[in-house]
Structure 1
């Protein structure tokens, strides 16, 4: 007896050769739930009976509830705990890396349709949540707690998917456009990986990135594209980087702060990060 597990993130009817061989050679194929994956198998000419799995049946293939590998393993263990012969769990399709992102999109779609709070949100009403989640993610990164970082990255991802879902309702783009856009940008700005450019150091990679970015943006001001809401040290670092300023003179407090930012840049440091870490040590 065999139990077949199918990924919910793969289109119905897309199965491994092993899965099709098992289904075609079975005396009986049964499933506990009728769903699109089961119907695709039926459409291929293999009859499927809908029933509950209660006992071991030789030469029978049971199709597990889609995506429920835990159910398949639990049923196999339960059947084998008695007098039944071996029960084999077969995976008929597998998730590709990143496939769980589809779950986030699906959950957000349903929340937008069925949750009153989620349904009334807009880009503007979510803006402070996006900022909070970004700061909480940075805090988790600083803490060195991997589990905390994973959780906060999930919260930040949710904000991205949320904004994309809102845009899909009337702005002409969605999460696929967001993903396609960044994928295209990464390919274009990394010609040493995706093209024929040769580099010998990380500095050359960064220089190529900045050159290509400048060509794309065609900015007319050194301040273009730098968010004014950045913390002051980070804002100063961005502007000084564009101006390629390495030294600042003056005795007033602002000039001395700028000089410290320039000093940090000269040593390959991020002034904002250095100060944040120094403040954490105070506690």
Structure 2
């Protein structure tokens, strides 16, 4: 008779009372010999009330493998409930090696070439389940006996890493290879992981606050609530004709939620000067404010040949020319533009007040 060993692994990220239909059929099949390696297996208590007989086989991986193989060699359908922690990896390896080698088993027994080995998932990870592993790792690093470096970090000490990882992810995207399978896409996956680490790290630190703790679940819930509220055309009865209308609705809802009285509220002044100026001009345009912006000098416009370049290339050359001019004059271009951006902010506030 053909014997069969069915290995049923369980996801440690899924509630133990849940089991796939195929795994349930294997466990409850009449005549099946169902085994586990310890009484503490989380699935056992859910099988006790269903008249499923579970036989424990404890011992070294090689010994357990021999016993399972002996039962299967006798023609039985053997089911092994794997430990969700992954502690059964050596048992799986021992079974695979024994079947592949076709070696004799325990004294007086032999491994039949007819024994089949099947892996049948008992539960499957939900999308995002690996995030639980990240949370567990961060807990381990920050807990007593973890990593001394991780344990001493604060929100303030991690700011530079948060910015650095975000810039590295942006650079990887700008390199242009992230859409094609290969090194560029692998690099993007890694850089996004580094950014995600910063979110998990800050959330873990926030969880330790004595008076106002919050953790990764609170962070996630906050952004979920925000996304649902800011997309009434998806989650409510709102409507949006295009992306521009979606963006306008987002800004309106955001201003109402935060009770903002000015379009410049929420614009971070500490961001790079170029993005700061762009954000301020965007907010002013969205509010219909007439803002005076310096015009390009005539000679600079004439010196720029736009016939052989795209608008993006032309603007890039002009910006680079301005940086070059700033160096010739001994001026910090970031500081110079930041001064102008702050002046633009004051102009917007003045226009709002006069309107």
Same fold (TM over 0.5): yes
CA-CA distance at 1:141 after TM superposition: 1.3
Structure 1 residues 181-190 or 52-61, which shifts more?
52-61
Structure 1 residues 35-44 or 229-238, which shifts more?
35-44
Query: Aligned with 2:8: secondary structure?
Result: strand
Checking the alignment, whether the CA contact within 8 Å between 1:5 and 1:67 is kept in structure 2 is no
Match of 2:139 among 109, 127, 133: 109
- Quote the Cα distance in structure 1 between the aligned partners of 2:153 and 2:319: 35
CA-CA distance at 1:108 after TM superposition: 0.4
Checking the alignment, whether the CA contact within 8 Å between 1:29 and 1:62 is kept in structure 2 is yes
Describe the shift of the 1:250–1:194 C-alpha distance in structure 2 as closer, same or farther (beyond 3 A). Answer: closer
Checking the alignment, whether the CA contact within 8 Å between 1:31 and 1:38 is kept in structure 2 is no
- Quote the Cα distance in structure 2 between the aligned partners of 1:249 and 1:202: 27
Alignment of 1:9-28 (within 5 A): 9-25=13-29, 27-28=32-33
- Quote the Cα distance in structure 2 between the aligned partners of 1:111 and 1:19: 35
CA-CA distance at 1:84 after TM superposition: 3.6
- Quote the Cα distance in structure 1 between the aligned partners of 2:164 and 2:279: 22
Aligned length: 263
- Quote the Cα distance in structure 2 between the aligned partners of 1:119 and 1:60: 46
Residue 136, structure 1, aligned to residue 168, structure 2: yes
TM-score, normalised with respect to structure 1: 0.80
Deviations 1:10-32 (A, max 9, x none): 12222123323322335422234
Describe the shift of the 1:134–1:275 C-alpha distance in structure 2 as closer, same or farther (beyond 3 A). Answer: farther
Checking the alignment, whether the CA contact within 8 Å between 1:73 and 1:89 is kept in structure 2 is no
- Quote the Cα distance in structure 2 between the aligned partners of 1:218 and 1:149: 37
Partner of 1:259: none
Deviations 1:198-235 (A, max 9, x none): 22211111121111111112223333211122111100
Checking the alignment, whether the CA contact within 8 Å between 1:134 and 1:156 is kept in structure 2 is yes
Residue 122, structure 1, aligned to residue 140, structure 2: no
Residue 174, structure 1, aligned to residue 231, structure 2: no
Partner of 2:249: 208
- Quote the Cα distance in structure 1 between the aligned partners of 2:126 and 2:319: 41
Larger radius of gyration: 2
CA-CA distance at 1:74 after TM superposition: 5.0
Alignment of 1:183-202 (within 5 A): 183-202=224-243
Partner of 2:84: 66
- Structure 1, unmatched stretches of 5+, are 257-266
TM-score, normalised with respect to structure 2: 0.65
Partner of 1:87: 117
Residue 2, structure 1, aligned to residue 6, structure 2: yes
